[in-house]
Structure 1
Amino acid sequence: MAQLFRLDLLAPALLAVQSRLRHGFVVLALTLAALAGAALTPAVAGPVIVADIDSGRVLYAKQATDPWYPASVTKLMTAYLTLHALRAGQLRPDAPLTVSARAAAVIPSKMGFKPGVEVTVDNALKMMLVKSANDMAVVLAEGVGGSVENFAGMMNQAAEELGMGQSHFVNPNGLPDPGNRTSARDLAVLARTMLRQFPEYAQYFNIEALQMGKRVYKNTNGLVGRYPGVTGMKTGFICASGFNVVATAQRGGRRLLVVVLGAHSGVERTLIAASLFDRGFADSGWGGPGTLDTLPLPTSASPPDMRDAICGAGRGARGEEEAENAPQSASPLFALFKGGASDWETPVAGRTLPPRAALAAVPVFVGRYPGAPATAVAARRGQAQKGETASAYAADEDASPGAKALQKVKRPVARKNASASKQAEARQKPGKAEAGKKANDKKAHDKKAPAKNAAGKNRKTSDNDG
């Protein structure tokens, strides 16, 4: 009885402990769920838009006309103008472009080629869109527009013609500049226009990986190789903008595009885009706020600066290169808190993506063709004069008559200048006896010169005839 009495006295205490444990677990679970909800809904991202590519109908939009820093999605406009130049015959896919000192000096992400290296238009486009190479964007801008400044003017003219009212571009790669801006709606207009105007070039936007020698560069778009039906297009990141993506996908007979701006990580960017695609393909396509042309005016006049939230203290080093090529594996929180929410505002709850499938790498190279010298002739031989570019001498390696003529003109000039330099150096040496000896030698040489020159002239004529 004594033992039973003691257990009876302990029972209320045990029940109280159990209750507290249960309460603590519930509080912990609710706290984690709240944190997960705050971290995983599109509210943490900035503007988003989902649109039908063929009809232009907007299925969902949030702050889609508000200005935003574009980051590397700027390269879609660079690609747009390059494709125009290809179609117009101003450039050929195999045309060589030379990496300038300006292109080589840009910050990563980039290929890192030295000035004077030649890259074809086709390879530069692939490197820019897959690797997000900032240097290749400059190479294309200089190849199409002559200079970065001229090309920026072309970008802004194109934006105006396309009705991209919130867009302005200062450079071809989206590297930080307060003059760069765009909106989710404008990017959707640009993406839709490119796919409809240039269907023959659509493959540029869905390359899974590039291979140069033994090195493989995976597409910075985390949907590629993960989301069924994805067809492109481009990611972007700078601290001020957060993580951006313009993405396209096809399912059955429908083609959709999604724009996500201002996500807090590459993972979040990818999962929000995937969830918006899920919701878009499940939608009948007849709802939404209208078309790309009828969205409401922006609610702010200038882009927000997300630097502190994205790259502030305690968030680790987040440079442009690291961000563009960060692993895209899903966060465990996405797998833990699964839900069936179908509301556009919370499409990410419970969304996960599988690991990337094996990516098919497309070979790329430097030079005019595989195995060709990578460096322009002037850069290799050191012949470029002040104010000239290496591309001015690129024809030296051609077998054309013009190239051979260029070789005959340029090289003798270099030798003549070298000879003159040696003579000037010799004249500067002191010594009266030596000077007198040179004067006597010159007189003797002048007497023999006519016969020698005539013999040389006859020899040259004979060689050309033979």
Structure 2
Amino acid sequence: MSSFIPSRVRILAALFGASLAVAPLAAQATPSLLIDVDSGKVLIADDATKPWYPASVTKLMTAYVTFRALRDGRITPQTLLTVSANAVAQAPSKMGFKAGTQITVDNALKMMLVKSANDIAVVIAEGVGGSLPQFVAEMNAKAAELGMTGSHFDNPNGLPDPDNYTTARDLAVLARAILLQFPEQADLFKMPAIQLGNRVIKTYNKLIDRYPGAEGMKTGFICASGFNLVGVAHRGNKRVLAVVLGTSSGRERTEAAALLMEKGFQQSWSIFGSVSPTVDSLKNEGGTPTDMRAQVCGPKRKTVASEADDDGDASPNGFAAAGMTGGVKMTGASLLVNLPPSMAPVPVWVGPTPSQAAIDAAYPPVPEKKGRKAASKKGGDKKDAAKQDASKQDATKPDTAKKDASKKKPDATAEATPATPPAAKPAAKPAAKPAPKPAGSAAPVPAPRPAN
């Protein structure tokens, strides 16, 4: 497909020969898509067929493949998975368990989806698929089965890789399949937090317990992708699904998604009217994914970009829409409120049953840092980790040329999330304080990459 004129109008024109005039939702030309979950009808589409790096939204496909394995009886929720050296070597965000630690499939899914743990995504892939390459092959087979023609996966966690790409359209197809095929798994995507021992780990999805009706899904971030979000919300008898890709901060993606959803709940408002296409009918473009590194992680940014970035001033783009409340301009920020917790933090554990001793044993010993005062540790560790992650990411540029799989080395780029692995004894640490980074995570062990 050609470039959009704006994109929402051209998608419809290309598919149906129609022409509509519509004001853009925001000044930022990055992909967004809103669909009705039950019917699959497209309500808003902006560059929705454009190739993009998914980042940790990749974990939706990892979850989907795991759900299929559960339904087929290959595994059970209580099946124990073992943390490998390859999993330990993954860049943050991660749980930080040492090699040999065992966790159940059920707990692994909760850790992967709430913490967005890259090490646990590999644990799931190796345990469910038999090997990492076999699981990745299954990811791509399931993507083809779902009609995700603009997607390819090269890892289960979304860490930087030029062969890991998708489109907003494909992510909506995948998310809708999860919602319709596996309704029993819905709670996994709406958890506001998990609790491991005394440590509470909150979700990165700031729509949960802030946007009325939000029912979760998944966020993602690497410098090349910008800030991504797939979210679903339910109100009355209507359920809408929003995909927002490539914003420059966590706050922007949250506000943009909230505005998309709010428009979807306005019964009298529609871009496409009676000729609305379905998400399956949208045709993906080819080409190379856009690289957002300069805009999102470039030297002009005042703060270190991270997955946890959902603070600070409102977006300069405004993320505002007119005509939603009788012509009154509405901002994404105005739609977000502090709602009562929808559920308490969900307990997770290592091993087959809850045990504080097992949690303590799951972490490698943390060496003492000499010459640093306790006070500086509290404020400095998180900043240091964020700077290290960002510097790694800035130094790693996506290579659009495919490399021989046997020569590939793991990308040391982190998700630019401040590393907050728990201490050896999480119970002794306050819930809201990140602990020092576990020993051994600073020097990843090279791991085999899945074949193309």
TM-score by length of 2: 0.69
1:71-109, Cα deviation, whole Å (9 max, x unpaired): 000000000010111111111111111100000110000
| Cα shift readout 1:359-379 (whole Å, capped 9, x = no counterpart) | 62011111111118639x9x9
Residues 219 and 229 in structure 2, CA contact (< 8 A), matched pair in contact too: yes
d(CA) in 2 for partners of 1:45, 1:261: 10
1:177/1:57 CA distance change after superposition, 3 Å: same
Return the alpha-carbon distance in structure 2 between the equivalents of residues 137 and 350 of structure 1.
32
Tell me what 2:224 maps to. 240
1:94–1:120 CA contact under 8 A, matched in 2 = yes
The answer to whether residue 211 in structure 2 is matched with residue 224 in structure 1 is no
Task: Determine whether 1:326 maps to 2:312.
Answer: no
Q: CA-to-partner distance for each residue in 1:180-228, whole Å, 9 max, x for gaps? A: 1000000000000111111111111111101111111111101001001
* Residue number in structure 2 paired with 1:293: 280
Gap runs ≥5 in structure 1: 1-39, 381-466
- Asked if 1:363 corresponds to 2:347, the answer is yes
Which structure dedicates a bigger proportion of its chain to helix?
Answer: 1
Residue 67 of structure 2 is aligned to residue 80 of structure 1: no
How do 1:253-268 and structure 2 match up within 5 A? 253-268=237-252
- Out of 289, 293, 312, the residue aligned to residue 307 of structure 1 is 293
Q: Deviations over 1:398-437 (max 9, x none)?
A: xxxxxxxxxxxxxxxxxxxxxxxxxxxxxxxxxxxxxxxx
SS of residue paired to 1:360: coil
The 2-side partners of 1:150 and 1:333 are apart by: 44
> Structure 2: which amino acid aligns with 1:279?
K
- TM-superposition CA deviations, 1:371-394 (whole Å, max 9, x none): 18639x9x99xxxxxxxxxxxxxx
Q: For residues 294 and 339 of structure 1, do their structure 2 counterparts lie closer, same or farther at Cα, with a shift above 3 Å needed?
A: closer
Structure 1 position 355, deviation (Å): 3.7
Task: State whether residues 320 and 331 of structure 2, in contact with CA within 8 Å, keep that contact through their aligned partners in structure 1.
Answer: no
CA distance in 2, matches of 1:277, 1:268: 14
Q: What is the distance in 2 between the residues matched to 1:114 and 1:77?
A: 25
Equivalent AA in structure 2 for residue 85 of structure 1: A
Q: Does structure 2 retain, via aligned residues, the 8 Å contact 1:41–1:347? A: no
Secondary structure of 2:300's match?
Answer: coil
Aligned residue for 2:135? 151
Q: What root-mean-square deviation, in Å, do the aligned CA atoms of Structure 1 and Structure 2 show?
A: 2.8
- Offset, 1:339: 7.1
**Following TM superposition, by how much is the alpha carbon of 1:354 offset from its aligned partner in structure 2, in angstroms?**
2.1
Q: 1:72 to 1:297 in 2, by over 3 A?
A: closer
Residues 368 and 374, structure 1, Cα contact 8 Å, conserved in 2: no
Output the CA distance in 2 between the equivalents of 1:90 and 1:128.
20
1:354 paired residue number? 337
- Aligned-partner Cα distance in 1 for 2:270–2:25: 24
Q: 1:315 to 1:360 in 2, by over 3 A?
A: same
2: CA distance between counterparts of 1:131 and 1:372?
20
Gaps of 5+ in 2: 1-23, 365-452
Question: What code does the residue aligned with 1:142 have?
Answer: E
Q: 1:45·1:264 contact (CA, 8 Å) conserved in 2?
A: no
> For 1:246, what is the secondary structure of its paired residue?
strand
1:207 corresponds to: 191
- Change over 3 Å in CA distance of 1:204–1:338 after alignment to 2: closer
Identical-residue share of aligned pairs (%): 53
Q: TM-score, normalised by structure 1?
A: 0.67
Structure 1: distance between partners of 2:182 and 2:209: 23
Q: Are 2:158 and 1:171 aligned? A: no
Please say if residues 258 and 332 of structure 2, whose CA atoms lie closer than 8 Å, have aligned partners that are also in contact. Answer: no
* Deviation, structure 1 residue 329: 6.5
**Cα distance in 1 for residues equivalent to 2:95 and 2:114:** 11
The range that moved more, 40-49 or 265-274, is: 40-49
Other-structure match for 1:130: 114
Report 1 or 2 for greater relative contact order, CA contacts < 8 Å, sequence distance ≥ 6: 2
Q: Secondary structure at the match of 2:358?
A: coil
Partner of 2:91: 107
CA distance, structure 1, for counterparts of residue 119 and residue 303 of structure 2: 22
Q: Is the 8 A contact 2:34 2:43 kept in 1?
A: yes
How many equivalent residue pairs?
333
